[in-house]
A = this chain, B = another copy of it.
Amino acid sequence: MPIPSFEITDRDAGTRARAGVIHTAHGPLPTPAFAPVGTRGAVKALAPKDLLALGAGVIMSNAYHLAIRPGAETVAALGGLHRLAGWDGPMMTDSGGFQVFSLETKARVDDGGVTFRSHVDGSTHRFSPESVISLQEALGADLVMPLDVCTDYPVPRDVAEAEMRLTHAWAERARRAHTRADQALYGIVQGSVFDDLRAESARVIAGLGFPAFAIGGVSVGEPKAEMWAAVDAVIPHLPDAAPRHLLGVGYPEDLVEGVARGIDTFDCVMPTRIARNAGALTMDGRINLRNAIHARQPGPIAEDCGCYACRHFSRGALRHFTLAGEVLGLHLLTLHNLHFCLLLMRQIRAAIADGAFEVLRREFLARYAGGTFAPAGTAVPMVAR
């Protein structure tokens, strides 16, 4: 088995969904997969042992954040990113393009790269397509993203087109600079919500011969319908045999919909971030544990959930720990939310193998989209419940 490589094991007959395995130097990653986000090498409020118990297959970390602190040389001196994170399985690093353009870093872009200020101490840094490859070769993740221009939403078509072309030029430079044969370098597709630009970007990036592909510039504020239209414009132009990642997506319903459209991997801070706001995912909608209604509820977040939090703690206890500022509350809600997403991915993989993906998709969306968990921009059907 060559490393890295992608093997498709099952296909859904009615959609573009497929199941497979990304083989990495740190073991196999069954797909479709959801990557919990460990921006600085740690998934918020969890230890790697918790992620193993949850069945996580890959962690998404961030080259920008690690370059700022503790620095690539320090990570290398400590034995690389996997050793820093205490995680021996597959790891992915985002380049940090999104962060440079979104974190008040006063980014200035020129053809050669981007100059920006650290969000930690205000110091000036510069990323070029080559330096970001060098950074990620030092960190040593298995699956890595090149520097791209993450186009904002909304922007005029000419801005989207210019940023797409710069992303293509940087992609070519990144591809030439990349030397580590044990890493898979993804080609990132941009083009905002313009379907013809998305299709062009996919054709150009695919033409550069990357072993894997990612769709960027999504989930940046555009309506969900626009996002799926962009994905649908891209997928037919990417090689079928290569894995496809959807950057920064998604919510549970997005995972189901993305798989149906041919996406293999996802990453999103949502399950960990909403936990910090006392939010818990359930099939009947999101609940907020700060709500007084939960104060004396002796039952778990979800009766049919098998996660550690639901097996051992009442909603009232979770509310108490959350209001008291106990780390345990944050830990348990994070465990629960990631369990929800990772279990969904296991169910998706099994359904694809069993020829039952369309049933899963229909039943999940019928129950889940009827809940109160409506992402911005989505029209929730007014169904009797």
- Cα-based distance from A332 to B85 in the complex (angstroms): 12
Q: Say yes or no: A324 contacts B83, CB within 8 Å.
A: no
The interface stretch among A40-48, A153-161, A183-191 is A40-48
CB distance from A369 to the nearest CB of B (A): 32
A162 at the interface (CB under 8 A from B): no
On chain A, which size bracket covers the interface?
A: 35 or more
Please tell me which one of the listed residues B40, B77, B297, B314 contacts residue A83 in the complex, with CB atoms under 8 A apart: B314
A84 adjacent to chain B (CB < 8 Å) = yes
Q: Copies per complex?
A: 2
Q: Name the distance in Å between A79's Cβ and chain B's nearest Cβ.
A: 5
Binary contact readout A59-99 vs B (1 if CB under 8 angstroms, 0 otherwise):
00000000001100010011100011110000000000000
Q: Output the residue of A40, A314, A320, A330 with the most chain B CB within 10 A.
A: A320
Query: Which B-chain residue is minimally distant from A326 (CB atoms)?
Result: B42
Do residues B70 and A308 form an inter-chain contact, with CB atoms below 8 A?
Answer: no
Asked if B331 contacts A47 (CB within 8 A), the reply is yes
Q: Whole-angstrom distance between the alpha carbons of A7 and B319 in the complex?
A: 39
Q: Are A295 and B42 in contact (CB under 8 A)?
A: no
Q: Does A45 contact B317, Cβ atoms closer than 8 Å? A: no
CB-based contact A314/B84 at 8 Å = yes
Chain B nearest Cβ from A140, distance in angstroms? 14
- Tell me if A328 and B296 are in contact (CB < 8 A): no
Residues of B within 8 A of A319 (CB): 70
A132, B40: Cα distance in complex, Å: 46
Q: Give every chain B residue within 8 A of A317 (Cβ-Cβ).
A: 41, 78, 83-86
Q: Contacting A330 at CB < 8 Å: which of B83, B327, B329?
A: B327
Q: Is A262 interfacial (CB 8 A cutoff)? A: no
Chain B residues positioned under 8 Å from A330 (CB to CB) = 327
A296 with B74: CB separation less than 8 A: yes
Q: Check: A312 CB closer than 8 A to any chain B CB.
A: yes
Nearest CB in chain B: distance from A52 CB, A: 11
Q: Are A316 and B74 in contact (CB under 8 A)?
A: yes
Q: Of residues A44, A70, A79, which shows the largest number of chain B Cβ atoms within 10 Å of its Cβ?
A: A70
Q: Are A69 and B327 in contact (CB under 8 A)?
A: no
Question: Does A323 touch B at the CB level, under 8 Å?
Answer: yes
Interface contact A69-B324, CB-CB below 8 Å? yes
Let me know if A207 is at the binding interface, CB within 8 A. Answer: no
Residue of B nearest to A78 (CB): B316
The yes or no answer to A321 lying at the interface (CB within 8 A) is: yes
- A78 is contacted by which of B46, B49, B298, B324 (Cβ under 8 Å)? B298
The answer to whether the Cβ of A364 comes within 8 Å of any Cβ in the partner chain is no
Chain B residues in 8 Å Cβ range of A328: 42-43, 45-47
CB-CB contacts below 8 Å: A21-51 with B: 40-49
A77 in complex: contacting residue of B86, B298, B327, CB < 8 Å: B298
Residue of B nearest to A295 (CB): B74
**Nearest neighbor of A84 in chain B, beta-carbon distance:** B317
A49, A308, A319, A326 interface centre (most CB from chain B within 10 Å): A326
Question: Which residues of A are at the interface with B, using a C-beta cutoff of 8 A?
Answer: 40-49, 69-70, 74, 77-79, 83-86, 295-298, 308, 312-314, 316-317, 319-321, 323-324, 326-332
Ordered by A's residue number, 10 sampled pairs between the chains whose C-beta atoms are within 8 Å are: A42-B326, A42-B328, A43-B328, A44-B326, A45-B328, A70-B320, A74-B295, A74-B316, A84-B320, A86-B317
